[in-house]
Amino acid sequence: MKQTSTSRIVRLDPATGLSCLFRPLPKSKVRPTLDVEYRPKHGGLTLRFSAREALGMPEQTLLLTLLELAQEHYAVASRSAVVIDRYTQGIGQDLWRALHESQIAADGETLYIRTSWRELAGRCGSQGGRSQQLREAQLRRLCEVVVWEKADDAQRSFRQSRLVSVVHGSDLRLHLAVNCRLAGAVMGSLYAQVSLTERQMLATDTAQAMHAFLSTTLRPGRSVPIGIDTLMHRLWSDAADGIPEGTLRARRKAVRDSLEAIGALPSWTVAWLRPGIAEIQRSKGSAEVRARRSQSPASAIPDKGGSTALVPATAEHFDATRFLVGVADSPRAGTMDNEPMDYRQRGDEQNPSKNNEMATLEAAVLI
């Protein structure tokens, strides 16, 4: 399918983006299990993701690619051709059953995606060799994830479904559907904006993980000061559990290098307020080249007494560490408590009536 935008902006469900569903994983033959929970701080819908294998950056890239395809299909095809619900027949019914563990009467709706391994390889940015074998494993991991959605109501109602379902068709194509929450963001519910073009310009898993998180947290036109230690807590849930100092130094360097890489992207600016604290700004125009580039931590301006002078910050404040709480029954768990995402991360030009609804996340950065 022809690309409609060089920036490749993907609409992502904010709760999924703010969760720790995807993390940079160490190279190992055996992956840890997945048991991650997203719980809004002031109540609301709780999400829990579980599977026998944790998900890394390649799986996140594949999921974003599937959402990009769903977005394009929804934009150009009739609603009846792409929307799946419990009344759908044929292959759509097979996808619905697979998504909801044969609970055909489940409520909601999702989107039908039709693609091929070759198309996925081109969009994900890797072809040849073992790429299809690796992508098959990545898709299997996505399909194995069970999503629990629990409402904060008197009935404690909940819904269970898979993150992704797939059916191999007789036409040698892949037929897929995504979780209803993910599809809802594509169809116009609350969503964040993640650029696949920018993601593919980042060379490391750490940089890609930070980019996806910051894209979910920070809508275009906003800025936020945040600390390296805050981002370390976000990326590695074991950051405070007696990790060797050498490992912590390596992680701190990886985060600092990732911020520099993100700051080099046309739509982002990273300025160091002082060593260990950076102000991150996301511009509205994806093609806008900003004059102020990423600065070195050592370039923070010293005052006459030799101490570091802070660059004035004019931004909302956010501290991700206050949202991280370990889940006791999981060896690699992470829980994020966050403010309710009661805004739509859409461009002001597209939705001028939504400007007043876009609340900012407010908290002091942990220094």
What residues pair up with 278 in beta bridges, in sequence order?
226, 272
pLDDT tens readout for residues 39-57:
877 777 899 999 999 999 9
Question: Nearest 5°: phi and psi at 304?
Answer: -65, -25
Residue 325 near residue 331, CB atoms below 8 Å? no
Residue 125 near residue 200, CB atoms below 8 Å? yes
Q: Which residue has the higher pLDDT, 52 or 108?
A: 52
Q: What is the pTM of this model?
A: 0.77
Residue 68 has pLDDT above 90, yes or no: yes
Show the beta-strand stretches assigned E in 204-302.
223-227, 268-274, 277-282
Would you list the domain boundaries of the chain?
9-344
Task: State the pairing for strand pair 34-38/335-336.
Answer: parallel
| Range 279-299 average pLDDT | 55
Helical segments of 264-350, H only = none
Exposure of 292 by Cβ count < 10 A (0-12 exposed, 13-18 middle, 19+ buried)? exposed
pLDDT tens readout for residues 262-272:
999 999 999 99
Coil, strand or helix: which one is 143?
Answer: helix
| Range 188-213 average pLDDT | 95
Q: What is the pLDDT of residue 156?
A: 66
DSSP 34: E
Coil, strand or helix: which one is 176?
Answer: strand
In angstroms, the CA 328 to CA 187 distance is 36
Residue 283 has pLDDT above 50, yes or no: yes
What is the overall mean pLDDT for the chain? Answer: 77
Q: What is the pLDDT of residue 227?
A: 94
Residue 97 has pLDDT above 70, yes or no: yes
